[in-house]
Structure 1
Amino acid sequence: MNNLIKSKLELLPASPGCYIHKDKNGTIIYVGKAKNLRNRVRSYFRGSHDTKTEALVSEIVDFEFIVTESNIEALLLEINLIKENKPKYNIMLKDDKSYPFIKISNEPYPRLLITRQVKKDGGLYFGPYPDVGAANEIKRLLDRIFPFKKCTNPPEKVCFYYHINQCHAHTVCQVDEDYFKNMAQDVANFLKGQDDKIIEDLRAKMAGAATQMEFEKAAEYRDLLQAISTLRTKQRVMAQDLQNRDVFGYYVDKGWMCVQVFFVRQGKLIERDVNLFPYYNDPDEDFLTYIGQFYQEKSHLVPNEILLPSDIDAEAVAAVVATKVLKPQRGEKKQLVNLAIKNARVSLQQKFDLLEKSLEKTQGAIENLGQILNIPTPVRIEAFDNSNIMGTSPVSAMVVFVNGKPSKKDYRKYKIKTVLGPDDYASMREVLKRRYSRVMREGLIPPDLIVIDGGQGQVNVAREVIRDQLGLDIPIAGLQKNDKHQTHELLFGDPLEVVELSRNSQEFFLLQRIQDEVHRFAISFHRQVRSKNSFSSKLDGIQGLGPKRKQALMKHFKSLTNIQKASLDQLQAVGLPVAVAQAVKEQLGEGRT
């Protein structure tokens, strides 16, 4: 704990509000709320913590706080600050896409669709379905039962589905608007759980087909009835009032929280959502934050009612979600909440072993690596590798690992611009200067550790650029391979020394993954560039053959070999003038024909 933090801790008020933790770069890494700012913020810098909290605290070099009038105001402010800054230690939901709905379109010939957007277009929407597979399964069943429009043909032209009696959107069907309105109502009743009429109709059709000795058609009706029965089993009726509800339950253990949400739609439990994450605040406070993010970030349909565990502040939830919020004390609704809590506990217990292994491979690995190198925990690692063949098509690549995991959105590719010939040192010098000049110029987040795929020479070049030319204080390590092209040694220090790492340690496995990934990324990029250059170089310089004509040639002939074998007439058929076609033949070595 530095002097700045010590001084600020003395000034904290015993009021509700939000606190904002920052790292050495001034980046916001965690936002929290508290009923008592003084007690909450001081707790981070006193006593012992678990591994994940220690990792957070180790990065805090400054904090700010905002006092609010109430705990509810603090919750609303916290949700907005998290949404705006996306701190890496805050709860981030696994999936920010909206859930699918089943839609009956408002058209003369309605269609049955799966959509993720609810619009005021006159269509009928049913859902949401957290499991897109369940939505597709229901749609497939409805498509077999109801002959909605399934094609893009004009009304006068029949389609395949017409011939199997699954599309009546054609003039020859001679159906009016009331036919589709009644059919849409039947679907609506089915999705609301009122499927008795449909079942009776299918049974009557099955019996009629059997009487007429149309056994294949009878078997089809039988299969539809069986599918409806299976769907009924999956969508167990939970309430008779046909209300839409979200039922929340949570369980905490060893610094981790599991939240389960049961989605009850039209009185049926249709699906659940599970989220498992580390928490840093009081469990009930982080649970409130989760609910706020859940309805904001996921654009989730707000139900008629939300059911919560008894220890949660319902008033605070009502402030962030405009719907009825209940904490049931008895009856069926209480049983639903208890079921959600039970499932949360089971999920946490089942996944804890995997999470522990994951933490050991990632968080534990970077912590151990930091201790071995005597540097702060390298949360962000940037690694570089060059690739060329005898100096042709030279490229370089950078991969980024954050908290021990690849951050592919931060990967970068570099074409070497200033180096002629196979000069690995000069290529590394150019790329590092380009990368970290931009980091300084644009105020990007610098890495905690730079890893160079190479030995002493490459590391010395990196130091020359990073430390001497740019004046940056970033630790630099080198990874050397053995004669089998496998990760062999870690070089670090001034002067450079081999760092002893156990071959069975997680930190060694992490460095191995980093080296393999940057090599794969560089080789992949080099192959792309080489392939493009190979094609371009043989056709470059031909007067009258520009990029569009090259593209047309490749699209038509598929390969240079086929272009080389083509006759003048065939080349002209692609759109080449006679003179250009002759020049192509000469350039590729076949001569005039």
Structure 2
Amino acid sequence: MIRKQKGRDLKVYAYLKLAIKPAVLSVTTMISADEAAYSGPYPDFKVAQTLSDLLEGLKPLLGTDQWLQNCHVFLAGDYQPLQMLLTQRMQQEATKLNFELAATYRNHWQKLATLIEQQHWVATKVSQDAFGYAVKGNQICLTTLFIRQESIQQRTAVTVKLQTSIEQTMKAYLTRFYQQKNHLTPTNVLLPKELTLATDREHNWQQPEHGFQRGAVLLAIKFAQSQVVTAKLDGQQAVRDLGTALGIPAPTRIEAFDNSNLQGADLVSAMVVFEHGRPLKSNYRKYKIKTVIGQDDYAAMREVIYRRYSRLLKTGSRLPDLILIDGGPGQVTAAQGVLEDQLGLLIPVAGMVKDQHHRTDHLLFSGQIVPLEKTSLAFRLLTQIQNEVHRFVITYFRQRHEKSGFASLLDTVPGIGPKRKQVLLRQFGAIEQIAAAPVAELVKLGIPTAVAENLNKVLSQANLD
């Protein structure tokens, strides 16, 4: 299925992105409102990457224009044109006694055919709508996946007041849904098997228990759950809950800090402010570290904490109720030492610790992990603050980095010139993705092994968080 995406999608699915200029097929989790065409979602990232690699391998054989045309058709679910083309090319090359090239065409199609067969991708004219739900309080989020040719073409989500029961709410919603002119009744209406619903043969209501249809319903349910989690945050209640968890008065003003650097160079810090659970962007501050030489995160934190709060004391400005540090015990201790020993301030300081995927994992306070449910308002507020301070410091770091003459981290690596830099950025999209790529993937792009290993080493040592 090929389509132009008009809205936001979730990051939990793998899609194939077919860009036109330049002509590149890549795996992505983010669908943008651009001119590229998107296909998916796919069963998992490995399947999507394998398919991308196989189709990309045909580009030098077919030429860009013919490759683009065939990719569009293939990803739309019509595999026959590409099969016929590769078979024709194979026979032509065999006639010319170019047996190696003929085998290349044959092998490409065999690998694609095997992948198609393994994943049971079958083009079908059956139309299906899958429904899911998630309940929060007296509200229920109802989601719909519009499935055509076994690909999700569109998704919708609405939140309504829960009636006497989930079943009653769902049945009323379905009736209204298909009364709308723009919602044609599909071949099958797929509903969660957990609901007790009377069979409606007239509208083809089904409650699948296994297979593709059950998987589609589970995706709809997961989508609904994600919509409930990302619903508008009640900032004031989140602040009260956070104060209760920490054993302090509700921290109506919170200031959060994060550092960023490139192998000790261009060391910067940034601070964001939240009042009553909402960002107060007019109070955000950026800091260029002045006294620290080399990569010393603790020293950088001590400098910025002293500069911030010595100034507030001098001007008589309001102090925060809570200070959050992006980091663990070392960064927290560094901040507390400055506040208490140098400035005589007793402001609560907590550390926002990330997991291995750079997502908010837990809060550290008074040397202990604060027990917070990850679906709680307090934890969602912490995640929002940590993401915001990280975004703000990274933006400032990149501005400083560019001004100091570094167009990119790639420019610091011997053997990475303009052409190779362009290839890397085109394939991976961002420095963080290049840093996460194995050396073998870099070599596949035509980068010498020694250069790829050095690039991987430089990026792994750089502070990209």
Q: Same fold (TM over 0.5)?
A: no
| TM-score band, normalised by shorter chain | 0.3 to 0.5
Q: Which has the higher contact order (CA 8 A, sep 6+)?
A: 2
Bigger radius of gyration, 1 or 2? 1
**TM-score normalised to structure 2 length:** 0.41
